[in-house]
Amino acid sequence: MRNARAIVVLGLVLGTSPALAQDLALKRVLLSTGGVGYFEFEASVTGDAQLSLPVRVDQVDDVLKSLVVFDDAGRVGAVRLPGRAPIEEAFRDLPFPQAALESPVALLNALQGAEVQVAGPRPLKGCIMQALVEEIQLPNAAGTVRRHRVGVMTVAGLQQLLLEEAETLTFVDPALQARVEQALAAVARHGVRERRVLALESLGRGQRKVRVGYVAEAPLWKASYRLVLDGAPSAKQGRLQGWAVLENLSGHDWRQVELTVVAGNPVTFRQALYTAYFISRPEVPVEVLGRVLPPADERTVPAAPAPREARLQDRQLMGILASPAAVLARQVANESDEAAGQKADQELAKGAVATEAEEATTQVVFRYGRPVDLPAGETLLLPLIDRDLPVESVALYQRETHARHPLAAVRFRNDGASGLPLGVLALFERGGGGAPAFAGDARLAALPVGESRMLSFALDSKLTVDREDRRTQRLAKGTIAGGLLRLQLIERRSASYRVVGAPGEERLVILEHERLGGNYKLAQPGERDVELTPRHYRLRTALKPGATAVQEVVLERPIEQSYRLFDLTAAQIAAYVSAPELEAKLKRALEEMGKLRAAMDGQRRQVEQLEQERKEIAADQTRLRDNLARIPRDSQIHQRYLDKLGQQENRLEQLAPLIEQARGALARASQALSDYVAKLEV
């Protein structure tokens, strides 16, 4: 059953001979820079017809994904092709492998026991025992010759014969004889492994045209350009030639085909549709009835009714196990998605073979008016554009490319009717004699209609550029609310470009200055005076011969900083009061706050001084008591230490109320500052 499914899935048809079918001729080719090509074949048919289309094996997946058939007055029948491994499939059900056809001995040994009929000088009929290869010595030492000896079991017993002496050897069983012939036919039919032949049925009446197309992998075509400039820097026009470089690796010769090239980036992918897939199923063990051994009976209790939810889940589970409806539903949904994708591919194919060149929404189409001939495996150059374009010679300074010298560049604008695809460009300059000289290479990005591009092709060492960077901050604004001081700073990042011109030559210099993130804005020059690229500003500077120009570029961004007013020190408050950028009202508020802060700091210092004195007395008392424990009680020094302790105790009694008074004053000063800050808004 599995073999039958594989044959059906792969479309293996053994009864159709492609040699009898009418071949399709390649008529239209569309190549995309997305790495794919659309190939359309055509044939004139009458009535019901069968068409054959050979394709490479590595293209079959793409053909199965994108094949479209157009019949003017008929309808499309089945499309068949051999499987991925047709010879293996042909031998799957045969009683011998493909290797058995390598020699008569291999075939006879593979069919041991088969009944054969031998005709010749010694006719035999019997069952094959074994076939052997033996070397026979020729007389007079003339060498050896190889012979094939076959053992046959006949009704008269075991007999032998040399295969070379038999005229014919046939299998008595007609079915076996037919299967051997079938195997040989399969080898002959599918001997070419690199190709598969599609058999297409066209059903209809009368004479009509049938077109068959598909999208397959193809080398992307490349665009290359040549731009010829006049030698004078003031020249305003240049001659642009564009060429399409393409290769024919389709496996078919192109003879009088309609060729179209498309510049775009479509979504493309591959899927292995030519491979048979089988769903993995879980293996369920065979249920084996075990030995019956009933346990001893025990007492019973009334059974609780099963919850309704549990019964419902059981029924749902049994329903899923009983019918694969859910799986089939998902398969149908997947097939619907694939059908929708094939319909979209058909619409793409219709658009791809448009009858005139145009610029589509996402791509640029170039169609050649004359048929093209290109044998398989060869390369072709075809013209894309050949006309004058407006140009402007400039010196482009890019610091990341070269820090001291700008690049010789040319800016040109696409004033045509269609965009230009990306590609490489060779630039030439005409000298005094009119002959062009090579100036350099450049890279052209995709150029839509109406846009311009800068093409750098050489280093302009006659000009020098020096750059000096600076970074500063200034205070711009301040507010007070909610106990916070909010300051707005302006960070400035400036660069000064000093450009020294070339002696005897004018230059139009374009300076590229990097754009910064983080809310930076251009402050100098104005944005109207610059051009923008995704990563740079471009500033124009016209230089006279030998002149020097200085260009300033300033970027600014605001920075927000917040401080708790209560935590500001007196020095910080004094610095903000002296800042000329802050408003007078804010300064007066800070000045008053500075007074309160100074009063609080004075009270804190007084508390700290009194507490420090008490700590010093306590430490000295510890020293005195330690000494008193070591000296005689009736000594003068003992009495002196006692007097000293008495004086210190008197001072400690004086310090206690003083510290309490100082702490109270500090608390009142702190509260005064806190109350002032809480209600302050400026």
Higher pLDDT, 361 or 90: 90
Average pLDDT over residues 484-512: 90
* pLDDT greater than 80 at residue 21: no
Assign 377 to helix, strand or coil. coil
When pLDDT is cut at 50, 70 and 90, the band that residue 333 belongs to is very low
Q: HEC states along 22-51?
A: EECEEEEEEEECCCEEEEEEEEEEECCEEE
Q: Is the pLDDT of residue 313 over 70?
A: no
Per the CB < 8 A criterion, the answer to whether 443 and 454 are in contact is no
Q: Let me know whether 355 and 502 are in one domain.
A: no
Rounded percentage of the chain residues whose pLDDT exceeds 70: 83
Give the pLDDT confidence score for residue 514 in this predicted structure: 93
Instruction: Report the DSSP beta bridge partners of residue 53.
Output: 198
Amino acid at 182: Q
- CA dist 413 and 165 (Å) reads 87
Which residues face 379 on adjacent strands? 247
Q: Helix, strand or coil for residue 316?
A: helix
Assess whether pLDDT exceeds 90 at residue 289: no
- Give the tens place of pLDDT for each residue, 3-20: 333 322 223 333 333 334
Judge whether 162 lies within some domain.
yes
Write the single-letter amino acid at 508: L
Statement to judge: residues 199 and 237 lie in one domain: no
Confidence of residue 396 (pLDDT cuts 50, 70, 90): very high
Whole-angstrom Cα distance, residue 677 to residue 666?
Answer: 16
Q: What is the CATH number of the domain that holds 143?
A: 2.30.30.720
The number of distinct structural domains making up the chain is: 5
* pLDDT higher than 90, residue 107: no
In the predicted structure, residue 1 carries a pLDDT above the cut 90: no
Give the model's pLDDT for residue 303: 45
pLDDT at site 3: 37
Determine, yes or no, domain membership for 285. no
Same domain, 607 and 628: yes
Same domain for 204 and 71: yes
Whether residues 535 and 430 share a domain: the answer is no
Which tens digits make up the pLDDT trace of 207-263?
A: 889 999 999 999 999 999 999 988 666 678 889 999 999 999 988 999 999 999 998
Instruction: Report the pLDDT value the prediction gives residue 358, as an integer from 0 to 100.
Output: 56
CB under 8 Å to 547, separation ≥6 — which residues?
501
pLDDT of residue 331: 38
- Please give the residue that has the higher pLDDT: either 337 or 218: 218
pLDDT on residue 682: 80
pLDDT of 184 higher than 50? yes
Burial class (CB in 10 A: 0-12, 13-18, 19+), 442: buried
| pLDDT bracket for residue 343 (50, 70, 90) | very low
Residues 29 and 71 in one domain: yes
Domain contains 286: no
What's the one-letter identity of residue 73?
A
- One domain for residues 341 and 449: no
Q: Quick one: pLDDT at residue 31?
A: 94
Question: In the chain, helix, strand, coil percent, each to 5?
Answer: 30, 40, 30
Question: CA neighbours within 13 Å on the CB side: how many for 601?
Answer: 12
**Quick one: tokens of 630?**
């070591």
Report yes or no on 311 lying in a domain.
Answer: no
Q: Same domain for 341 and 362?
A: yes
**Beta strand pairing call for 25-32 and 254-264:** parallel
Torsion of CA 621, 624, 629, 635, to 10 degrees: -140
Give me the pLDDT at residue 189, please.
Answer: 67
pLDDT at 375: 93
304 pLDDT higher than 60: no
Q: Are 550 and 473 found together in one domain?
A: yes
Give the chain's mean pLDDT: 81
Range of the domain at 118: 100-174
* Res 359: pLDDT: 59
Q: Read off the pLDDT band of 278 (50, 70, 90).
A: confident
Q: Are the C-beta atoms of 420 and 447 separated by less than 8 Å?
A: yes
More confident call, 119 vs 295:
119
Residue 288 belongs to some domain of the structure: no
The residue that leads in pLDDT, 326 or 572, is 572
User: How many residues are given for the chain?
Assistant: 682
pLDDT of residue 320: 34
Q: What is the pLDDT of residue 211?
A: 93
The whole-number pLDDT of residue 487 equals 87
**Domain closes at, from 458, 478, 501:** 458
570-577 and 584-628 helices cross at what angle (nearest 10)? 160
Judgement on whether residues 675 and 574 belong to the same structural domain of the protein? yes
Q: Is 549 part of a structural domain of the chain?
A: yes
pLDDT tens digit sequence for 591-647: 888 888 888 988 999 999 999 989 999 888 888 888 888 888 888 888 888 888 889
Q: Is residue 124 part of a domain?
A: yes
Tokens at 649, concatenated: 């105790």
pLDDT at 585: 87
When comparing pLDDT for 355 and 169, which is higher? 169
Question: End of a domain among 400, 433, 458?
Answer: 458
The residue ranking higher by pLDDT, 384 or 307, is 384
Do 225 and 214 sit in the same domain of this protein? Answer: no
616 and 674 housed in the same domain: yes
Answer yes or no: is 128 within a domain. Answer: yes
Are the C-beta atoms of 116 and 159 separated by less than 8 Å?
no
Return the percentage of the chain with pLDDT > 90, whole number: 26
Q: Whole-angstrom distance between the N-terminal and C-terminal Cα of the chain?
A: 90
Peptide bond into 285 cis (omega under 30): no
pLDDT tens per residue, range 39-84 = 999 999 988 888 989 888 889 999 999 999 998 887 888 888 877 6
Range in 189-193, 205-209, 563-567, 656-660 the model is least confident about: 189-193
Asked which of 458, 482, 497 is the last residue of a domain, the reply is 458
